[in-house]
Each structure stands twice: as structure tokens, then as C-alpha cells.
Amino acid sequence: MIHSLFLVSTAGHIFLEKHWKSVISRSVCDYLFEAQGKASAPENVPPVIATPHHYLISVYRDRIFFVAVIQTEVPPLFVIEFLHRVAETFQDYFGECSEASIKDNVVIVYELLEEMLDNGFPLATEANILKEMIKPPTILRSVVNTITGSSNVGGTLPTGQLSNIPWRRTGVKYTNNEAYFDVVEEIDAILDKSGTVVFAEIQGVIDACVKLSGMPDLTLSFVNPRLLDDVSFHPCVRFKRWEAERVLSFIPPDGNFRLMSYHVNAQNLVAIPVYVKQNVSFFETGSSGRLDITVGPKQTMGKTIEDVVITVHMPKVVLNANLTTNQGTSTYDPVTKVLVWDIGKLNQQKVPNLKGSLSLQSGAPRPDENPTLNIDLRIQQLAISGLKVNRLNMFGEKYKPFKGVKYVTKAGNAGPQREQRSTFFCWNLFE
Amino acid sequence: VHDDLKEMLDSNKDSLKLEAMKRIVAMMARGKNASDLFPAVVKNVACKNIEVKKLVYVYLVRYAEEQQDLALLSISTFQRGLKDPNQLIRASALRVLSSIRVTIIIPIMMLAIKDAASDMSPYVRKTAAHAIPKLYSLDPEQKEPLIEVIEKLLADKTTLVAGSVVMAFEGVCPERIDLIHKNYRKLCNLLIDVEEWGQVVIINMLTRYARTQFLNPNANEVLLEEGEEKEFYGSDEEEGKEEKVEKKKPYVMDPDHRLLLRNTKPLLQSRNAAVVMAVAQLYFHLAPKAEVGVTAKALVRLLRSHSEVQFVVLQNVATMSIKRKGMFETYLKSFYIRSTDPTQIKVLKLEVLTNLATETSISIILREFQTYIKSMDKDFVAATIQAIGRCATNIGEVRDTCLNGLVQLLSNRDELVVAESVVVIKKLLQMQPEQHSDIIKHMAKLIENIQVPMARASILWLIGEYCEHVPKIAPDVLRKMAKSFTSEEDIVKLQILNLAAKLYLTNSKQTKLLTQYVLNLAKYDQNYDIRDRARFIRQLIVPTDKGGALSKYAKKLFLALKPAPILESPFKDRDHFQLGSLSHLLNVKAGGYQELPDWPETAPDPSVRNVEVMDAVCCHGNCNSKRVGERSSGEERRTAKKTTEPRSESESEEEGKESSSESSESESESETESKEESEPDTEAKRNAKKKVGVSNGLELLKLFWHSRVLFVCILPCSAQTISPTFSSLKTYELLHRLTGEGLAVGYCFGRQPFVRDPHMVTVQIQFTNHMDTEARNLRVREPRLQSGMRIKEFPEIEVLPPGETVTTVMGIDFCDSTQAANFQLCTHTRKFCVSIQPPVGELMAPVFMLENEFKKEQGQLMGMNEIKETLVLGEACQSDYAIVQRVTAAANVGQVPCGSDQEYRFAGKTMTSNSLVLVTVITKRDRTAQLTVNCEKMVIGTMLVKDILHALSQ
């Protein structure tokens, strides 16, 4: 299985290594650097690289390459999934997963990795178990530790691994018992220039923050579970119960966790909450171009659209942009050729507009690439699919918990998810 | 060096030691060598402070290999730890001990592993399983004793150990498939409760296992393909073929094969992408063709995950989409490319889109491709052009449109786009050159502007090959190329030579001198390939005095008709690697890869998987029956039953005494078992739930529906509803294919308790769509029911694609009558009036009771409530087994353990009113038997007698 792990920064600096079997020289990472040199961006480095004696399987996250060295056959997804789990654990422990935070907490990182893998095979990957063994750093604790010399390692060995519910630690106690559920939905759509939907879907997750004492057994039901087309669950969810009754029945992990992810299949029925009118054109003479973008709310079901950001990837020949807007701010980065227009809230009264001229590299041919628009937005208190939580019941414990559900709609969380393609020069190829 | 650290380590203060260890670990993390501190560190191995100790362990494992002698100093600490009363300390001692790569301690490790493998604590046993591959990699000589340990641990029944030991099995002895037989069913049943990483390993191993033990469920398909091929090559052997087909028995899936498919399916909902992929590959390699499609949705879900996950999944989807195109057709749009996708993802998505293209979808795919060509990512544009070429070759209808589109691209401003188009056009033209001489002319003109060598070479080859179509232009092109010959790239030079040779042969008058000029240039080229080619061509085409036997064939050699290239997917036939594996991804066998075996011709003996051990955990007292059932053991009991079937009477008697709840389940047939096994825990819970509702004297100690937790409940002796013993699963027709206009609906009585309402009969409904369009919104409307009857309809089925089958469940409370339940079955366009009429035997659920209870109850149901009938047993109805089977098939009742071997008793309870139904069959010597039914509902009693009579006398 996993032989060694190297953490490499984008600049090519290997800042952490850990070996579970015999030591493998860090020079093996040269193959990664070679691939990185060929790729136009770090995201384009192939996740699996074969070298004469080893295989490198890597994930790129938060500007860090997590590189696992493998010697024999292993399902690549197994390793990839594990590496992401490592990154998530760091995120969970240190608040951010960055080179600096990993270097600052190198001992904890080492202790974590030691518990997460045994002989290269995953041992404990549940956050709840790990936290019982290795306490996450807090400012207070680190001060206390330096004075008293006490440690981050739990004095008692974890019981979670021995229990039948490995994701929950035992003996949880809270004075305020609370359970919060966030229903977060993302619209993922491709539109063409005229605004026609080429492809649209809604993906959602239910993130939970459960702080309940003892061993509560929860049941969460929906008003309209039929909406859910495809689901995947945290291991705590009883699948059979879902199949038979369409309710989520589970003994929750303690703290934050993702209860379920789902997909709503509504192909063309997805209500796109905004409309965008755009006109980007380049002139044959004078090496200049014009840009005009207008955004407005469409179907918002009475809610306000917030945090609207439009990102445009311009062709390489666009040197600069001279733009004016009636709302928000716009910036153009001439190095990355990205135009960002941060609009903020959308009002019914005012229609945000961005227009101006683009200056092109002189002498260069008119670009025939069409810039794509990516739109980020956020709507509070609305799950765009209409999914509604019915009720949450608790069994197994006597106290009365405080319960809450929150709905949010976004357009993508990891990178822009919604894009508008423009087809401004017509190409009657296949018709 | 490091003197300060040594001092700190030698101090008495834990805080100093800890600080020192932290600094050492930080050094290790940065890759700095800290081996000179070994003596100072190893002294602290027995330190009381747990964090210091842990960090010392980390250090030790890292450097022990380099400092073998000193490492031995620490061994005694671990040996002590192995005997610690705390299981976690034992485990951690074993973990570190086995990680120290020092050959001299191999015997100590071996002993420790053996001890730990029989430790009481499953956690220690798990650690032992992890230690096995460590020792094996240190000393492969230990293989045999380690296999013994693996065999022992494979028999372990806890989920904690299962994943780890299979991991060890895969690492040490993957060829010993025989070790799996006895554990196969257990592994299948435990699977859902194993931690996610273990699931992946087990599923991959079971895929290989199944390939050696079961028959190919798609054998017919293979046969069909073969048949087609045969036809193609000639029909000499046709007759032999037919015989072969006839000899082939109809395929029946081994219940164990089905068990594996069924138990892995829920894991498609796992949050772990590796688990989902493992199940998908299992279905791809093992499931009947029609069932593979269930994995598509889950795989498409993974496309919304991290880009690395997408990368791996798309590779596998690309392979799958070649063999099973249909499964992804509905998800076509999910493979559309976004401008933000990394290049490697874009290229893979293109591959999938190309594979999925059919006559119907090609137009929207091409429109999509049209957008891609305008992308800024030039590698991706090149890949798109190639994809268009592949679509054009695969789908003849669009060949001309594609070609025209590509020709338009020749005037693109980007040279890379033009070059790639040229290469693809060249391939397309080879298929039908006659019709396209104008395109060839057009391309000849391009040679002046295109600089990309591959494109230039392609154009030259085209002109040479089809010089007869462009007789005027070709010599002129050669003239220009002769001028620039010396500055061309090697591949272009070779094609210039080719062109020259071909022109010389067809049009020597105009080109003789030019050709010789070119040949002379080539003669002195730096590249020996080109020099060789020139020499070869000269000998071949220029007639010399010495004859040159080949020169008269020169024309045939150069201008032979060349077959058009087949543009194939690079993923074709990649499925000979197990999907999801590293080897599949790289298309090269990786070290340690286990080949996926071919299906056997005939199935090996399935009885090897039978488990003899009776691990009965059931017992009962006189008034309290206590049931302690861990899921896995429950399963095993049932499978154990299978082995002893049909059983001798003495055995059944013995068992009856031993545990009555067990014998109530005895005689059940394999089919039933597998049905039951799918939902044992739900049943358990439902039953338990009912018990809570029904009787007050019931004490529920601990109850979790979740199977991870074993449940214990103490029950009073009153009759308990138990799981049904026989699922006849006789399918009735609800809607015929013809009346339903292509929609066929069948139903059967699942005999499982209906989840939401204990008074309802579970009806499984199976829809099959024979139409060529999809059926939408299948649902129940306007039930017309007798008073008191209730219906719980199935959740609406949104889409049923053509050719697919879907099964759903509805509940009907028939009010203990055999009146039909009428309702309308609607699709998005039509509605059909249908009715379900239950046989009387389905209106009840089995009940568990003991013989004396049975007799007591029977005593209270005499007179009007008792119906007696004498009958002659049918020919096939002589054995015990047959009688029990017939009765339980006719009615959903449970067998009551009996002392006498001529008496058979069955008990059930009607669904709505919970009235007892008692059935007694007493056989006599002369093949006659007496049937008695006691039931306070006389109508039910009468009808039931009729049905059972019929069943037994047949």
C-alpha cells in the first residue's frame, strides 16, 4: 500500500516526508517536478505518475502536493481518497491546510500520520477517534503545555476503535445540547450565449454540527424526499432505513460532519436565479475591443441574491481593460488575464452593468477564442431545489436538544461552477 | 553535533525529553538524518510519559533498520507490553515490534503474531493481521506459518478484523483462493459493516474469487458474439455450433453469486469514492449485463468530486463505455466539458463522449464539440479534432458533415488547429478518396503555409497516394518540396521521398529529374533512415542494367490499395485489467497485480462454501426465550442449514431440542435464505418493534437497528412473529405487456413484514419497460377498495428507461379477506385499471411457538373453528422436506418443532386481526394424511384447507 508520503509546495520544496516501510529517497519527487514542468498549471499535473521503480499518486490541494509513493498494485482511488482525508484532517486540526500550518505543527502532523496508517494501510481515519488520541492544538493549550510540559497526546487510549460505532467517541457531555443542519445547494449550469441552458443540475449537501450528550439516535425526515435523485451518506446513516422509509436514521458523530450529499435531477427545470447579458467583441483594426455585461435577478423566490461575483477569463492578447461599473468593483489582472467583477447584492431596482474598452496587443490577430463567464452567487434561506426538512426526532437520550436547520444556495464552492459560454462568432459547421 | 539534544534526553525531566523528541521528529520530517541520536533515544523507550514514548516509537521504527544492534535493546520493552492486561497496550506493542525491520527478531515477531491472532480482543487480532504483511516483506521464508495465521484470522467473525486480514491475504498469498471458500458468505454478509478501507480490499478480492467460482452470467452474450463472428468467416461449422448451444444448460445464477451482488449494491451510496469504484468494477466484471447499469449513477456522482477522483473515474468510465455503451447514455450531459476542467480531465471526458456517440446523440455531441474547438487550451482543441475524426469513422451518417467541418478548420488562424485537422482529414479521406479530390487540392495549397511537420507529412502522403486525382498539382508540390528538402524535418523528408517515388512511377515524364534530384539530396542526408530509404527507393524504381527483380513490381509495392486506418479508442479492450486498478489506469501490469481470471467453463463445486459449524447462539427457557443474535452469526446459522439439507430426522429432532427458534427456520430453501439475508437487521428490528407494541411484559434491554450493535432482548413465551420461512415468490401478472402497451408489470408477495405498517401485506411489484421510449411517473392512482382495506402505494417511479426493470414495494391491508385491491396504475401518458388478489395463504405471517403452546392454542380453537380433511399425498410429496415445502409455499406460516416424525405443525397469524392460524398435517402409512386447520376466521380456514389440500395432493 502506501510506502511513503511527501508534502511538496508549489514552488517544489519538499517540506515533510514520512515513511511507513523502508525509507525511499526524496529524489523520487523529481518525477513529479518533471511533470509539473510540463503542465501549464499545478492542477494539470497527472495524479498518477509511473517511475521506473515506484508509482507516484498525488493530489493537489491548498497549494500543496500530497505525494504518496507506491510500489505495488493498489486501487488509485484508494490512495487519492486517503490523501484527501489527510488534508481534511489537517484542515480540521489546524483550521487551515497550508505549508505554514503544517510546519508549525509538525509533531502533531507526524503523530496523526502515524495513527492514520499502519504499514501503509489506513488504520484510523475518523476525526472523532483521532481527536481522542491526539488533541488539536489551541492557543490556550499550547501555552499551558509549554509551562507544564503536558502533552497533546491523550492520556487514555481511545475507546472508539473498539466500539461498534467507530465514528462517535464515548462519554460526550454538553450543557447546551444542540443540533444544527445546513442544507447547502449548488447550482451547476452551463448556458450558451443566448442564456439557454445547455446543462444544469443541483447538488446539495447536508452539513451537520451536532453537539449532543451521550448516545443520541437521531431521525431526520424530509417533506419531499422524492426530490433526491442520488445520495451518498456518512457511514453512520442506516441505509436500509433510507431505502424503505426515506428517512435518515443515525447515531451522529460528535461535532461537525457531512451527513449526506445528494443530487437533484431536474435537467431543465432548474430555476437559474440570475440572468446575464453579455457582449464582448474585438475589432479587426485598432487592436481594441469592447465589453458590456449586465446582470439581473430572475427567479429568486423572494430572496435576495448576495455575493455575486463574475469572473471572465480573457484571451491572452488582451493587455488591459478600461471598465466602468455602476455597482461593485472590477479588476483585471493582466498577468493571469482574469477579469473579476465583484458585484455584491443584487437589487430589484438597479441593474448592475459593467462596460468599457479592452486594449489588445498591437499587431496580434483578433482573438477567436470566446471568453467564458463564471458566476458565483449565494442565496440565504433558500434551497433552490425546494427540499425541506420535516422534523428531527431524537431517541436514546432524555434531554431536549435545541434544533436548527439553515438553507443556503450557492453557485459552486470549489472554483466557479456556472459558466456562460458566448458564441459571438458564428460557425455554421455542422448544421 | 546534537549534544544539547542528547543532554535533554538524558535529563530526568519529562518536559525536556519531550522537547528534545519534538525537535528530533521535526528533523525527521524535514528529511534530516538523526540516526546518530539513536542510543540516546532508545534509552527512553520505557519512558512513563505517553507522548515521549509515542515519539520514541516513531523514531525507533524509522531508524531501527540502520541501527540493528542498538534496536535490540528496546525489544524487551515490547515483549513486556505484549503481555499487558490492557488490550490497547498489547496492540500498540505488537504494532511497533512488527514495524521494526530487524531480521534477528523474526522469530519473536512470529511468536507475537501467533499469540495475538488468538487474543481475546478483536483490536489486538486486527493488529496481528496488520503485522502479517510486515513480517512477510521482511522475510518471505515465513510464508507458510503466516498462511496458517491468515487462515485462522479469516475465520474471525468481527468486522474489525475482516478488512485487515483480507489485506494480509492479498499481500501474502492471493493465490490461495481455497482459503476463502469457507469464509465467503461471512465476508459477503459482514461487508456493509466493515470500515471503508477494508471494504475496498474485500470487494476487490471477492471479484477475483467470484471469477474463479461462478459461471459467466453473460455467457449467452459471448456465445452470440462468437456466433456472429463465425457467420462472418463462413458457415462450415454452423451445425456444430447449434449443437453446442443446445447442449448448454439454461443459466442459473449461483445463490452465492447473487449474494455478493446484492450485498455490495448498497455500498454504491458510500461517501468514499474508492468503495463506490470497487462496487462498480465488481458489477462490471460479475453482474449480468442488464444489472451493470445500476452503478452508472454512482459513478457519475463521483464526477462532482475532486479532480483526481474524476481523473481515475473517467478512465474507468471510458473503458466501461466501450463495452456497455447503454449504461451511460442517459448521463451524456454529465460529461460535458467546463472551461475550468484540467486538461487531462477534458481529454478523458472527450473520450467518453466519443464512445457514447450514437446516431441519435451525435448531432448534440458535435454541437458541443464545436464549442470546444474555440477553447484557449490548444491541447484540448487538438484532442477535440481527433474526437471528431473518431465520430466520423464510427458513425457513417455524419462522415461528410464532419469532413466539411474539419476542412473549414483548415482556414483557422491557429496553426496547431490546422495541423491537427490535416492529420485527421488524411485518415478520413483514406476511406473514400474518389469523392474528395477537391479537398486534396485544397490541402495541397496549404503546404506553403503549414509548418507543423506532422501535418506537412500528412499532406505529402495524401498527394502521393492520390496523385492520380490531382495530376496537375502533384508535380508542382514535389518541385517546391525539392527546393526546401534540406531544411525539412525527418518525417517530412521521408514523405517527400515517398511522393517522389510515387510520382516517378505514375508520371515519370514530368518528374524523372526531380525525383533523381531529391534522391541525391537524400543520399547525403545526416539521418541514416533517410539515406537508407533513398537507396531502397532508387533500387526499386530506377531500372538498372543488372535487372533488379523487384523493379517490375514497384508500382504494386508503392501504389497498392491501403486499408483505411481504424481510429480506435485507446481504452478498447482495457477491461482485461481489473477495473479500478493501478494497472488498468496505466495500461501496464503493475507489480503485485493479480490477473482477473477468466470465467470457468463449468462451475466448481459450490458446496465448498458450505459451513459446517453450528454456531447457534439461540437458546430458550421454559417461559423466557432469549435471543442473542449478532448479525453475522445469524447468517451463518442459515447457511449452515443449507449444508444439512435434506436432513435426517434424527438430526432435526436433536436440533429441535437444542434450539427451537432455529428449527422454525429449518428446511427453508436456499432461495428464501438469500432473500432473508438481504434484510435481516431490518426484520430483526421490525420484529422487535412489534414486540414492543404488542406485549407489555417485554423488556427491551438494548436495541439498535444498526447492525453494528448486537441486540439482546428477552421475550415472554407468547407467540412471536418471526421471519417467514419460505418465500414462494410466485410471480403473478398485474399488467400484460400487450395490454400495457409495452409496459409489463408483475407482482409477488415478498413475505417480508411491511415496514410502515405491520398489518399490511408486502407486495413486490416489478415493472419492465418493453417500449423503446422511457416510461415516466409510474404511480398508483385512485385505489378502489372494500371498506376497511388500506393501501400504501410505492414511491413514484420517475423514469424507467427502455429495456430496464425496476422493482418496488407496496403495502396492502386486505382486512383478512381475499377481496381484490383495485387501483389505477398510471404512467405519464396512460392509466391502466389493475387489481391484486391475494391467495389466502398470503394473508398471514409466520409465528413462532413451541409444540405445547401450539397444542394449548389448538385446544381453544375446536368445534366450528376446526376443519379436518383427509387426503392422499401426491407422488412428489413423500419426503418430509417436500411436505414442509409445499405447506409453506401455499401459506405464509412457520413450522413448529415437533416431537413425532409423522406430524407437521405450522403456525401463523392473520395480518389484520392477528388471529392465529394453526395447520397440522399427520401422515399415515398408506400415503394418506390428515390435514387440520384451526382458525377463528372460518372463511380463511376453509379456503386455506382447500389450498393446502391442493398443494399436497399434487
Q: What is the pLDDT of residues A127-147, one digit of tens each?
A: 877 887 787 776 655 555 555
Q: Do A59 and B306 touch (CB under 8 A)?
A: yes
Using CA atoms, how far residue B631 sits from A233, B153, B157, B259, B615, in Å, is: 22, 19, 10, 15, 12
Supply the pLDDT for residue B816: 84
DSSP class per residue in B824-859: EEE-SS-EEEEEE---GGGGEEEEE--HHHHHHHHH
> Helix (H, G, I), strand (E, B), or coil: what is residue A15?
strand
Cα pseudo-dihedral A313, A314, A317, A318, rounded to 10: -130
Give the mutation candidate from A18, A240, A310, A395 for the B interface (greatest B CB count, under 10 A): A240
Cα separation of A315 and A289, whole Å? 11
Supply the pLDDT for residue A32: 94
Supply the pLDDT for residue A141: 57
Using CA atoms, how far residue B305 sits from A203, A208, A423, B300, B310, in Å, is: 11, 19, 29, 10, 6
Cα pseudo-dihedral B20, B22, B28, B32, rounded to 10: -50
Higher-confidence residue of B704 and A265: namely A265
Phi-psi region of B325 (alpha: psi -120 to 50; beta: other; left: phi over 0): alpha
Beta bridge mates, B763: B749, B810
Burial (CB count within 10 angstroms: exposed 0-12, middle 13-18, buried 19+), residue A44: buried
B38-61: average pLDDT: 86
pLDDT band at B632 (very low <50, low <70, confident <90, very high): very low
Supply the pLDDT for residue B881: 78
Q: How many CB pairs under 8 A join A and B?
A: 278
Is B167 part of the contact surface with chain A (CB cutoff 8 Å)? yes
Supply the pLDDT for residue B674: 42
Judged against a pLDDT cut of 90, whether residue B647 lies above it is answered with no
Cα separation of B911 and B814, whole Å? 8
Cβ neighbours, 10 Å, residue B7: 12
Which CATH entry fits the domain spanning B3-182: 3.40.30.10, 1.25.10.10, 3.40.50.720, 3.40.1260.10?
1.25.10.10
CB of A246 within 8 A of CB of A222?
A: yes
Which of B99, B123, B197 lies nearest to residue A121, judging by beta carbons? B197
Instruction: Please give the helix or strand (H or E) that residue A182 lies within, else none.
Output: strand A178-191
pLDDT band at A266 (very low <50, low <70, confident <90, very high): low
CA angle B544, B546, B552 (to 5 degrees): 60
Mean pLDDT of chain A: 81
Tell me whether 0.90 is exceeded by the ipTM.
no
Supply the pLDDT for residue A316: 78
Q: Which chain A residue shows the shortest CA-CA distance from B593? A: A73
Supply the pLDDT for residue B795: 82
Supply the pLDDT for residue A64: 94
Alpha helices in B324-452 (DSSP H): 343-356, 362-372, 378-394, 399-409, 415-429, 437-446
pLDDT band at A300 (very low <50, low <70, confident <90, very high): low
Using CA atoms, how far residue B732 sits from B742, B872, B946, in Å, is: 17, 28, 20
Handedness of CA B43, B44, B45, B46 (dihedral sign): positive
pLDDT band at B136 (very low <50, low <70, confident <90, very high): very high
Q: What is the pLDDT of residues B81-95, one digit of tens each?
A: 898 888 888 888 999
pLDDT band at B202 (very low <50, low <70, confident <90, very high): very high
B152-181: average pLDDT: 91
Q: What is the pLDDT of residues B362-391, one digit of tens each?
A: 888 888 888 888 777 788 888 999 999 888
Q: Which amino acid is at B677?
A: E
Cα separation of A59 and A77, whole Å? 11
Name the B residues in 102-141 with CB < 8 Å from any A CB. Answer: 121-123, 127, 130-131, 133-134, 137
Supply the pLDDT for residue B520: 92
Q: What is the pLDDT of residues B468-480, one digit of tens each?
A: 888 888 899 999 9
B423-449: average pLDDT: 80
Give percent of chain B above pLDDT 70: 84
pLDDT band at B222 (very low <50, low <70, confident <90, very high): low
Supply the pLDDT for residue B876: 75
Residue B670 DSSP symbol: H
Cα separation of A213 and B880, whole Å? 55
Q: Which chain A residue shows the shortest CA-CA distance from B268? A: A232
pLDDT band at A156 (very low <50, low <70, confident <90, very high): low
Contacts of B675 by beta carbon, 8 Å cutoff, 6+ apart: B727, B729, B750, B752
CB of B374 within 8 A of CB of B412?
A: no
The residue extents of the domains of chain B are 3-182, 183-220+256-292, 675-693+727-838
Mean pLDDT of chain B: 80
A75-92: average pLDDT: 94
Cβ neighbours, 10 Å, residue B603: 15
pLDDT band at B797 (very low <50, low <70, confident <90, very high): confident
Instruction: Please give the helix or strand (H or E) that residue B10 lies within, else none.
Output: helix B3-10
B444-469: average pLDDT: 84
Q: What is the pLDDT of residues A401-423, one digit of tens each?
A: 888 888 887 775 333 333 444 32
Phi-psi region of B742 (alpha: psi -120 to 50; beta: other; left: phi over 0): left
Cβ neighbours, 10 Å, residue A257: 18
Supply the pLDDT for residue B675: 43
The candidate with the shortest Cα–Cα distance to B843, out of B767, B913, B776, B898, is B913
Which CATH entry fits the domain spanning B675-693+727-838: 3.30.70.600, 3.20.20.10, 2.60.40.1150, 3.30.540.10?
2.60.40.1150
Give the mutation candidate from A21, A77, A134, A267 for the B interface (greatest B CB count, under 10 A): A77
CA gyration radius, chain B:
38
Supply the pLDDT for residue B847: 83
Judged against a pLDDT cut of 50, whether residue B934 lies above it is answered with yes
pLDDT band at B851 (very low <50, low <70, confident <90, very high): confident
Cα pseudo-dihedral A75, A81, A82, A87, rounded to 10: 150
Give percent of chain B above pLDDT 90: 23
Q: Which amino acid is at B507?
A: N
Using CA atoms, how far residue B686 sits from A217, B626, B660, in Å, is: 17, 17, 21
Q: What is the pLDDT of residues B289-337, one digit of tens each?
A: 888 988 999 999 898 889 999 999 999 999 999 988 888 988 888 898 8
B413-427: average pLDDT: 81
Half-sphere exposure of residue B256, counting CA atoms within 13 Å on the CB side?
28
> Helix (H, G, I), strand (E, B), or coil: what is residue B771?
coil
Cα separation of B174 and B212, whole Å? 13
CA angle A299, A303, A308 (to 5 degrees): 80
Supply the pLDDT for residue B883: 84
Q: What is the pLDDT of residues B2-39, one digit of tens each?
A: 888 888 888 888 888 888 999 999 999 998 888 889 98
Supply the pLDDT for residue A268: 52
The candidate with the shortest Cα–Cα distance to A36, out of A54, A53, A49, is A49
Q: Do B130 and A123 touch (CB under 8 A)?
A: yes
Supply the pLDDT for residue B184: 93
Cα separation of B197 and B202, whole Å? 9
CB of B886 within 8 A of CB of B880?
A: no
Is B339 part of the contact surface with chain A (CB cutoff 8 Å)? yes
Judged against a pLDDT cut of 80, whether residue A333 lies above it is answered with yes
Q: What is the pLDDT of residues B513-561, one digit of tens each?
A: 899 999 999 999 999 999 999 998 888 887 766 666 777 788 888 888 7
CB of B91 within 8 A of CB of B115?
A: no
Give percent of chain A above pLDDT 90: 22
Judged against a pLDDT cut of 50, whether residue B659 lies above it is answered with no
Contacts of A147 by beta carbon, 8 Å cutoff, 6+ apart: none
B220-245: average pLDDT: 50
Q: Which chain A residue shows the shortest CA-CA distance from B755? A: A244
B589-613: average pLDDT: 84
Contacts of B296 by beta carbon, 8 Å cutoff, 6+ apart: B327, B328, B330, B331
Instruction: Please give the helix or strand (H or E) that residue A206 lies within, else none.
Output: strand A197-211
Average the pLDDT over each of A231-240, B223-232, B804-813 and give the range with the smallest value: B223-232
CB of B138 within 8 A of CB of A22?
A: no
Supply the pLDDT for residue B618: 36
The candidate with the shortest Cα–Cα distance to A405, out of A385, A394, A389, is A389
Residue A245 C-alpha from the chain's centroid: 30
Name the A residues in 218-277 with CB < 8 Å from any B CB. Answer: 226, 229-235, 238-241, 243-246, 249, 251, 258, 261, 263, 265, 267
Strands A419-420 and A178-191: parallel
Q: Lay out the sheet containing B711-716: strands in order across.
A: B618-620, B624-629, B711-716, B699-702
pTM: 0.70
pLDDT band at B729 (very low <50, low <70, confident <90, very high): low
Q: Do B197 and A71 touch (CB under 8 A)?
A: no
Supply the pLDDT for residue A161: 53
Supply the pLDDT for residue A428: 26
